[in-house]
Amino acid sequence: MRGGLWQLGQSITRRLVQADKKAVARRYFSSEAELKKTVLYDFHVANGGKMVPFAGWSMPIQYKDSIIDSTVNCRENGSLFDVSHMCGLSLKGKDSVPFLEKLVIADVAGLANGTGTLTVFTNEKGGAIDDSVITKVTDDHIYLVVNAGCRDKDLAHIEEHMKAFKAKGGDVSWHIHDERSLLALQGPLAAPTLQHLTKEDLAKIYFGDFRVLDIKGTTCFLTRTGYTGEDGFEISVPSENAVDLAKAILEKSEGKVRLTGLGARDSLRLEAGLCLYGNDMEQHTTPVEAGLTWAIGKRRRAEGGFLGADVILKQLADGPSIRRVGFFSSGPPARSHSEIQDEKGQNLGEITSGGFSPCLKKNIAMGYVKSGSHKSGTKVKIVVRGKAYDGVVTKMPFVPTNYYKPS
């Protein structure tokens, strides 16, 4: 199988020849034994979840609904995702804000209490270590969530800098929220459904806002954010209450909010033009190249003071040599590593994510092209299995976002 995150299925010939059967069974046995399980694992299986290895975890790639049906239902009604594999983390101490500002591009000090933003952890070369949603809970408490696949390196990176920072007298410490689980409730029914389970007025909580609040009798961290382009929430709930909360959400939606797996989650984020770290952003990619210049706070552009700031500020002044853009294409869906060419067949770059859009019913992709070829409407060729197919640079998001913002 090529071009995939997903270890879905096997090569079809494996199914044809009896002799291969044992090899397949062995391979699955050895990898699955080491996988971590979220507290919702049995709940997923009971609901028909097809469990696959993902970033060291056994996670549902889909349930009984097809990926196309799940993706469309999220935008029409709602989806509930178990995203407990992601790592929630709190930084505490009076110097938490200046500490974090050394590692990320965001204007953390400028965030109002109880609000957050998408940001990027950078390395000395200005490349991305990870992307993360961070929230300034108070001046001495930052809450953030990092990618499952980046957990170990992110924590090592933060810890190393924290030691040095503390050695110089800085006041910061961390707590990793491994005693909590994370549910993402997304789509137009997210707010009306969740409102049944909390007394807090959700109409006053806008996109990017954070609250500690009571949901169904337990203290949860609620962030109005997500990874689908839809309105919705990520709910950090004590693990012992996670299954009950998931059941309550599904029940209160009268079956319209559906359990949704990683397959549809990837389609949704691609339609929303959001980066998948490891595909669309890597160690060598700067936030400017990735189209995340908006996430570099104005004060940070003036002052720098984060890792790789020299590289990033120079790119801001001169313009990056490559840029992340979106594409529509004909033929088979473009996948990661498909070559992008100009109309004369000269190399322009590479696709980093692509697939069939369940909502638009056509192929969408994102990738990096040389600056100059990045303008919307630029005609390109995308090479799939040796054949060049027509493509066109397209503005993202592919599907309009529906974030809940003050009018």
Partner 1 sequence: MKNTLPSEDHLGEVVFVELPEKGVSVSKGGSFGAVESVKATSDVNSPISGEIVEVNSKLPESPGLSIGSSVETPIMAPLEFVINFLYIVASLFVDMKINSSPFEDGWMIKVKPSNPSELESLLGPKEYTKFCEEEDAAH
> In the bound complex, what is the minimum distance in angstroms from residue 54's beta carbon to partner 1?
12
Q: Does 214 bind partner 1 (CB under 8 A)?
A: no
Four-point Cα dihedral 334, 339, 340, 346, nearest 10: -150
The least CB distance from residue 66 to partner 1, in Å, is 6
In one-letter notation, the amino acid at residue 216 is K
Q: CA 146: distance to chain centroid?
A: 9
What is the closest distance, in whole angstroms, from the C-beta atom of residue 148 to partner 1 in the complex? 18
**Closest distance to partner 1 from the beta carbon of 7 (Å):** 9
Question: If DSSP states are collapsed to H, E and C, what string results for 39-91?
Answer: CCHHHHHHCCCEEEEECCEEEEEECCCCHHHHHHHHHHCEEEEECCCCEEEEE
Of 40, 67, 243, 382, the residue at the interface with partner 1 (CB under 8 A) is 67
Residue 4, interface with partner 1 (CB under 8 A)?
A: yes
- Is 234 labeled as ligand-binding? yes
Q: Which is nearer to partner 1, 99 or 328 (CB)?
A: 328
Q: Is 60 in the site for partner 1 (CB under 8 A)?
A: no
Least spacing, CB of residue 11 vs partner 1, in Å: 6
Taking contact as CB under 8 A, which single stretch among the options 131-139, 161-169, 301-309, 352-360 is the one that binds partner 1? 352-360
Q: Which residues of 78-104 are buried (b: 16+ CB within 10 A; e: fewer)?
A: bbbbbbbbbbbbbbbbebbbebbbebb
Question: 218-237 mask for partner 1 (x: CB under 8 A)?
Answer: --------------------
Question: Whose CA is closest to 326, among 340, 346, 306, 316?
Answer: 340
When asked if residue 266 is in the footprint of partner 1 (CB under 8 A), the reply is: yes
Chain positions 311 to 350 lying near partner 1, rule: CB under 8 A, are 328-333, 335
Record the tokens describing residue 338, joined without a space. 């498909």
7-15, 88-96, 111-119, 299-307 -> range binding partner 1 (CB under 8 A): 7-15
d(CA 384, CA 363): 13
Nearest distance from C-beta of residue 362 to partner 1, angstroms: 5
From first CA to last CA, the distance across the chain in angstroms is 46
Sheet holding 141-146, edge to edge: 115-122, 128-138, 141-146, 87-92, 173-176
Q: Looking at the DSSP assignment, which residues form a beta bridge with residue 384?
A: 387
Locate the DSSP E strands across 63-176. Answer: 78-82, 87-92, 115-122, 128-138, 141-146, 173-176
Q: Is the distance from CB of 172 to CB of 97 less than 8 angstroms? A: no
30 near partner 1, rule: CB under 8 A: no
Question: Pick from 37, 43, 392, 397: which binds partner 1 (CB under 8 A)?
Answer: 392
**Among the listed residues 68, 118, 212, 311, the single contact to partner 1 using CB under 8 A:** 68
Which residues, numbered 357-386, are part of the site for partner 1 (CB under 8 A)? 358, 360-363, 385
Q: Which residue has the tokens 């322009």?
A: 348
Considering only 124, 254, 303, 390, the residue that binds partner 1 (CB under 8 A) is: 390
Binding site for substrate, by residue number, is: 234
**Which residues sit at the interface with partner 1, rule CB under 8 A?**
1-6, 8-13, 15-19, 21, 24-25, 28-29, 32, 50, 62, 66-68, 71, 263, 266-267, 328-333, 335, 355-356, 358, 360-363, 385, 390-392
